[in-house]
Amino acid sequence: MTEELTDQLRKVFVEALELPAEVDVENLKYRDIEQWDSLGHMTLVGAIEDEFGVQFDTEQVIDMSSFKVALDMLRGTSVDG
């Protein structure tokens, strides 16, 4: 289940940020790459919320500083069952 969630989130990151294949998504951090700037961040947040049917608080949106943090946030919302 955890692996499924990771795969699903990776896919959202790739699509929302239009990432090239060589990007190490799971170790990605905010502003590591050009695509994940503040505007890209809001697109990414919206895509994650849509995909997983969740809505993050403003503090969570601001704190979502890496793929790993995003994954932890989703686990915290019981997406991982």
Partner 1 sequence: MADGTPGNLAGRVVVVTGGTRGIGRATSDLLAQAGAVVVVTGRDEVRVKTVAAELSEANGVPVTGVAFDVADFDAVGAAFKAIAAQHGRIDGLVANAGILDDALIGMIRPGLVERLLATNVAGTIATVQAAARVMMRKGSGSIVVLASIVGENGGVGQTAYAASKAAVATVARSAAKELGPRGIRVNAVAPGLIDTEMIAHLPKTLVEERITDTALRRLGDPADVARVIRFLISDEARFVTGQVLGVDGGLVL
Q: Which residues bind partner 1 (CB under 8 A)?
A: 39, 42-43, 45-46, 49-50, 55, 57-58, 61
Residues 6+ apart with CB under 8 A from 74: 5, 9, 48, 52, 54, 80
For residue 58, the minimal CB distance to partner 1 (Å) is 6
For residue 49, the minimal CB distance to partner 1 (Å) is 7
Closer to partner 1 by Cβ: residue 4 or 50: 50
Query: Alpha-carbon dihedral of residues 44, 45, 46, 48, nearest 10 degrees?
Result: 80
For residue 42, the minimal CB distance to partner 1 (Å) is 6
Q: What angle do CA 75, 38, 4 make, to 5 degrees?
A: 25
Residues 2/80, Cβ–Cβ less than 8 Å: yes
Closer to partner 1 by Cβ: residue 6 or 43: 43
Closer to partner 1 by Cβ: residue 21 or 58: 58
